[in-house]
Amino acid sequence: MTNGNKFADFVDIVYADDNWQYTVKVYFPEQFERFRSLIFRDGEKRYPQGGKSGAVFSRTDNERFVLKTMSRFELDAFKHCALKYIDYISMALMERKLTALCKIFGAFTVNATNKKTGQSVKSDLIVMEYLFYKRDIKQIWDLKGSLRNRLASTKNDNNGASSVLLDENYIQNMWRNQIYVSTHSKTAISQAIINDSHFLADQGIMDYSLLAGVCRGEEDEVIIGIVDYMRTFTFDKKVESAIKNAIPLTNSSTVISPELYCRRFYEAIDGYFAVAPDQWTSDSIFT
């Protein structure tokens, strides 16, 4: 179903149980279906669920996907670049180009209406991969390449889990526990970050993060992915940035253009991961 707007390609799925009626608006259904077929080459497990419509919903093993709510602004921003995103990731998969974007598999608006009370609840959602699926993670870092307001508390939460730490925590940690990667991994990380950040800048997107999880174990494997790539550089942000930069004796603007964000991001991330010394490394650089 479509209203003629190229950014409003969707189908509505309606189903109900004894108490609730649900309407799920699925954005770009055919494009995302083809995209998922590239990712899940062995096929998804499908389980018929729902009400009288006989709608079929897809799921995989527990924790395989993350269901994330979005603001209307974020949903609109994603709808504007969704087809380019699908093309970008599909091309990377087919041509084996490096990318670190955490994959999004679909975007939805869900309306749930209580049949007895008439109460209605609406949510805008994306379904994305869980980056640390079946991984035992001991620490997670959320990195933007900036030190402004990027220091998190290191106290554990009520469940004993470690908090997600930020850039300033990472810089402090580098002096005690630098994360080293192989030369090959360093090259791959750098190329993927450059590819993705330039793609996002071309779409006017900023404020994304690199999520890095350090696995438990002797080798301390690091899993990375770029997340939260939903915020675009809108007109109001352009005005805010221009005003702050024009006022003398003030701190630098917290809002920067997608191009500047792109450069700051990949330059900072490149410096966060050091190459591990090997037999080819000169001892002189460590003395």
The domain that contains 193 carries what CATH number? 3.30.810.10
The 3 state secondary structure assigned to 133-191 is CCCCEEEEEEECCCCCCCCCCCCCCCCCCCCCECHHHHHHHHHHHCCEECHHHHHHHHH
Between 271 and 253, residue with greater pLDDT: 271
Is the Cα dihedral 130, 135, 136, 138 positive or negative? Answer: negative
Query: Above 50 in pLDDT, residue 143?
Result: yes
In a domain? residue 3: no
Query: Above 70 in pLDDT, residue 282?
Result: no
Between 40 and 101, residue with greater pLDDT: 101
Residues 25, 107, single domain; the answer is yes
Residue 256: which domain range?
137-286
Residues 21, 118, single domain; the answer is yes
pLDDT digits (tens, 9 = 90+) for 22-59: 999 999 999 999 998 888 765 444 433 333 333 333 33
The DSSP H or E segment spanning 221 is none
In a domain? residue 61: yes
Q: Which of 106, 129, 152 is the last residue of a domain?
A: 129
Residue listed under structure tokens 């709510």: 69
> Which CA distances in Å does 141 have to 161, 169, 277?
14, 9, 23
Q: Which of 111, 129, 147 is the last residue of a domain?
A: 129
pLDDT at position 48 = 33
Helix (H, G, I), strand (E, B) or coil at 131: coil
**pLDDT tier, 164 (very low <50, low <70, confident <90, very high otherwise):** confident
In a domain? residue 1: no
Tell me the mean pLDDT in the region 245-264: 72
Residue listed under structure tokens 């609109």: 76
pLDDT at position 152 = 79
Model pTM score: 0.80
Token pair recorded at residue 45: 């497990």
The domain that contains 63 carries what CATH number? 3.30.800.10
Residues 115, 180, single domain; the answer is no
**pLDDT tier, 61 (very low <50, low <70, confident <90, very high otherwise):** low
Residues 83, 124, single domain; the answer is yes
Tell me the mean pLDDT in the region 251-279: 85
Residues 83, 150, single domain; the answer is no
In a domain? residue 5: no
pLDDT digits (tens, 9 = 90+) for 227-246: 999 888 764 455 555 555 55
Query: Above 80 in pLDDT, residue 200?
Result: yes
Query: Above 80 in pLDDT, residue 83?
Result: yes
Distance, CA of 262 to CA of 198 (rounded, Å): 6
**pLDDT tier, 163 (very low <50, low <70, confident <90, very high otherwise):** confident
Residues 120, 207, single domain; the answer is no
Q: Are 93 and 195 in contact (CB under 8 A)?
A: no
pLDDT at position 149 = 80
In a domain? residue 17: yes
Task: Quote the radius of gyration of the chain (alpha carbons, Å).
Answer: 22
> What is the b/e burial string over 87-106, where b = at least 16 CB atoms within 10 angstroms of the residue's CB?
ebbeebeeeeeebbbbbbbb
% of the chain residues with pLDDT over 90? 48
Query: Above 60 in pLDDT, residue 116?
Result: yes
Residues 163, 256, single domain; the answer is yes
Distance, CA of 58 to CA of 56 (rounded, Å): 7
pLDDT at position 50 = 31
Tell me the mean pLDDT in the region 165-180: 88
Residues 125, 143, single domain; the answer is no
**pLDDT tier, 280 (very low <50, low <70, confident <90, very high otherwise):** low
Residues 121, 169, single domain; the answer is no
Residues 257, 197, single domain; the answer is yes
pLDDT at position 111 = 94
Between 267 and 251, residue with greater pLDDT: 267
Residues 120, 236, single domain; the answer is no
Average pLDDT along the chain: 81
**∠ CA(129), CA(131), CA(132), 5° rounding?**
130
Residues 25, 110, single domain; the answer is yes
Q: Which of 129, 164, 183 is the last residue of a domain?
A: 129
* Number of domains composing the chain: 2
Between 270 and 58, residue with greater pLDDT: 270
